[in-house]
C-alpha cells in the first residue's frame, strides 16, 4: 500500500478533484545515494509537488513536505487538520511495518508530548517547558565552557583531531548529563542509544530497549534522591514512570544528537567557507551568523515531525491519503528556491524551520543556541590556524533520513604544548 493510491472517499465525485497521476514510485529518503546528496532528492521531489510520496525506510511509505509553504502549513495546522498520534498510521495498525524498521524506532507511539494531541499534549509540553525554564542559563554557559575546555585540552597538544568524535559528539552528551543530574556512565548509555536511533540503523530495536531501560533507571534514581536538575523538575511536574521514560528520551534526544550536528556543521562552515573562514576569528562576522547559516541550509534534524491527515485532504492539488505519515523536510523547506532571499544572505534571519513551528515547536531553542554557540566560541578561541585535514569531498555523512551530520571532521591546528593535564569528569 503506497501513499498515492486512488482514494475511495464516499463523497460525490463532482465535489472532489481528480487525483493527479502518481509518479512512477515513491523516492527513497534513505541509502547511500540519498545520504551523499539529500538535496538532489529534494529537488526531484519538488517537481512532483509541494508534498510528495516517499519511501522512508525499506517498505515504509509516506509523504514528505519539500517546500517552505507546505511545511509551515502542516506545522501550523497540527491538531486541527493534522494529528501527531501514530495510532493513525494505517500500516502500523495492520502490522505491516517491520518490527526492526529504523523508521518504526523513530516514529512509533510514545508517552511523551511529541506524539500527543489536545489536552494530553498540552499537559506534557507544559511539564517540559516548566522544567527547562528553571535551567540557569549562566550556569549552563559555565558548564559548557568547562566541558569544552576539558575536551579540547585532551587533544590540543596533538595539533590534529576529529572534531566529531572528540568534540561535537561528546560535548552535548556531557552537557545533558549535567542538566539531568545523571551519573556519567548512565548518561552515556542514554545518549549513545539516542544516537543509534537517529542514525536509523538496523539495531534500532536493541537501541530503543537500552534507552528506555536507562531512562527508567534515572527516573527511579531521582525519585529516591531528588536534586536541582531537569529530571527532578519533571518528576515534580507529576509525570508517571512511563511518561518520565519517554519524556527523558524526548528531551535528551532533542538536545544531544541535533546539538552535535549543529556544532559539527557550524565548525565545518567556519573552516571551509570563505565567507566565514578567518572572519569569526577576527570578529568581522559573529559566530551567531554561522549558526544561522547552518540552521537554514543544514538543519540538524533534516526530516521529521510525522503527522497524519485528519480525514482525506488536498493541499495545492496534492491528495493526502489518510493513514500515511506525512513528514516535514526542514532541510528541503529551508532551501526552497521559492523563498524571497538567496542562500548566504540569511544572517540574523530566524525564519528558518530548524526548530519546527506551531504547537509542537522546540520548547527550548534558546538553550540549544547557548550550547552550540558556547561550544563554537571555545573551539575558535583555543584552536589556532584551524584547517580541514582532508579534502572536503572526503567528508562522509551519517544516515540522512532523519538528521544531518558527519561521521568525522578531521582537522589540523597549531598545537598547544603548554597545557595542564585535563581534569577527569
Residue 253: pLDDT band (50, 70, 90) is confident
What pLDDT is recorded for position 16? 46
* CB 204, CB 102: distance < 8 Å: yes
> Tell me: the pLDDT tens digits for 326-349?
999 999 999 999 998 766 666 667
Under DSSP, the state recorded for 275 is T
Which among 126, 109, 117, 119 has a CA at the least distance from the CA of 363?
A: 126
What pLDDT is recorded for position 4? 58
* CB 133, CB 365: distance < 8 Å: no
Q: Is the pLDDT confidence value at 200 over 60?
A: no
Cell numbers at 128, concatenated: 517540559
Check residues 44 and 346 and name the one with the higher pLDDT.
44
What pLDDT is recorded for position 206? 86
Q: Is the pLDDT confidence value at 14 over 70?
A: no
Strand partners, 301: 403
Residue 424: pLDDT band (50, 70, 90) is very low
Tell me what the mean pLDDT of segment 239-266 comes to. Answer: 94
Minimum mean pLDDT range among 159-168, 204-213, 257-266, 270-279? 270-279
Tell me what the mean pLDDT of segment 38-50 comes to. Answer: 96
- In sequence order, what are the residues at sequence separation of 6 or more whose Cβ sits closer than 8 angstroms to the Cβ of residue 158? 415
What pLDDT is recorded for position 113? 96
Minimum mean pLDDT range among 20-29, 34-43, 291-300? 20-29
| CA 298 to chain CA centroid, nearest Å | 11
Give CA angle at 420 (417, 421), nearest 5°.
105
Euclidean distance between CA atoms 287 and 269, whole angstroms: 11
Residue 105: pLDDT band (50, 70, 90) is confident
Tell me what the mean pLDDT of segment 184-213 comes to. Answer: 80
DSSP labels for 327-368?
EEEHHHHHT-TTSSS-TT--TT-----TT--GGGS-S-HHHH
Euclidean distance between CA atoms 115 and 127, whole angstroms: 15
Strand partners, 177: none
Q: Is the pLDDT confidence value at 353 over 90?
A: yes
What pLDDT is recorded for position 195? 75
Residue 285: pLDDT band (50, 70, 90) is confident
Q: Is the pLDDT confidence value at 358 over 70?
A: yes
Percent of the chain, pLDDT > 70?
88
What pLDDT is recorded for position 343? 61
Euclidean distance between CA atoms 4 and 318, whole angstroms: 10
Which among 277, 371, 315, 364 has a CA at the least distance from the CA of 74?
A: 315
Domains in the chain, CATH or no CATH each: 1-105+302-339 (3.30.43.20), 110-297+354-425 (1.10.630.10)
Query: Helix crossing, 137-153 with 170-179: angle to 10°?
Result: 140
Q: Is the pLDDT confidence value at 10 over 50?
A: no
Amino acid at each position: 500500500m503506497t501513499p498515492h493510491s486512488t482514494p475511495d472517499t464516499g463523497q460525490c465525485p463532482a465535489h472532489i478533484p481528480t487525483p493527479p497521476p502518481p509518479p512512477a514510485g515513491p523516492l527513497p529518503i534513505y541509502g547511500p545515494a540519498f545520504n551523499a546528496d539529500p538535496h538532489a532528492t529534494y529537488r526531484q521531489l519538488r517537481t512532483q509537488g509541494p508534498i510528495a510520496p516517499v519511501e522512508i525506510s525499506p517498505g515504509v511509505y509516506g509523504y514528505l513536505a519539500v517546500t517552505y509553504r507546505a511545511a509551515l502549513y502542516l506545522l501550523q495546522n497540527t491538531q486541527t487538520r493534522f494529528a501527531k498520534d501514530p495510532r493513525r498510521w494505517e500500516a502500523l495498525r495492520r502490522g505491516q511495518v517491520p518490527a526492526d524498521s529504523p523508521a518504526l524506532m523513530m516514529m512509533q507511539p510514545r508517552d511523551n508530548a511529541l506524539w500527543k494531541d489536545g489536552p494530553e499534549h498540552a499537559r506534557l509540553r507544559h511539564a517540559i517547558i516548566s522544567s527547562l525554564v528553571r535551567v540557569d542559563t549562566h550556569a549552563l554557559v559555565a558548564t559548557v565552557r568547562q566541558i569544552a575546555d576539558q575536551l579540547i585540552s585532551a587533544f590540543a597538544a596533538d595539533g590534529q583531531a576529529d572534531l566529531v568524535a572528540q568534540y561535537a559528539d561528546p560535548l552535548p552528551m556531557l552537557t545533558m548529563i549535567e542538566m539531568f543530574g545523571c551519573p556519567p556512565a548512565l548518561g552515556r548509555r542514554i545518549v549513545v542509544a539516542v544516537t543509534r536511533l537517529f542514525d536509523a540503523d538496523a539495531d534500532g530495536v536493541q537501541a530503543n530497549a537500552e534507552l528506555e531501560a536507562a531512562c527508567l533507571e534515572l527516573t527511579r534514581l531521582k525519585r529516591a534522591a531528588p536534586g536541582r536538575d531537569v529530571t527532578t523538575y519533571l518528576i515534580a511536574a507529576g509525570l508517571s514512570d512511563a511518561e518520565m521514560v519517554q519524556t527523558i528520551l524526548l528531551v535528551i534526544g532533542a538536545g544531544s544528537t541535533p546539538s552535535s550536528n549543529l556544532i559539527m556543521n557550524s565548525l565545518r562552515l567556519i573552516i571551509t567557507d570563505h565567507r566565514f573562514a578567518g572572519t569569526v576569528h577576527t570578529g568581522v562576522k559573529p559566530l551567531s551568523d554561522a549558526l544561522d547559516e547552518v540552521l537554514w541550509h543544514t538543519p540538524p534534524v533534516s526530516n521529521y515531525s510525522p503527522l497524519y491527515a485528519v480525514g482525506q485532504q488536498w493541499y495545492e492539488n496534492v491528495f493526502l491519503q489518510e493513514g500515511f505519515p506525512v513528514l516535514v523536510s526542514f532541510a528541503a523547506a529551508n532551501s526552497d528556491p521559492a523563498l524571497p532571499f538567496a542562500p548566504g544572505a540569511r544572517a540574523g534571519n530566524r525564519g528558518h524551520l530548524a526548530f519546527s513551528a506551531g504547537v509542537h515547536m522546540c520548547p527550548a531553542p534558546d538553550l540549544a543556541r547557548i550550547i552550540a554557540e558556547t561550544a563554537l566560541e571555545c573551539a575558535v578561541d583555543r584552536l589556532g590556524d584551524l584547517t580541514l585535514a582532508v579534502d572536503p569531498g572526503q567528508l562522509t555523512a551519517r544516515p540522512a533520513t532523519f538528521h544531518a551530520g558527519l561521521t568525522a571532521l578531521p582537522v589540523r591546528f597549531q598545537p598547544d604544548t603548554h597545557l595542564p593535564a585535563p581534569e577527569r569528569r
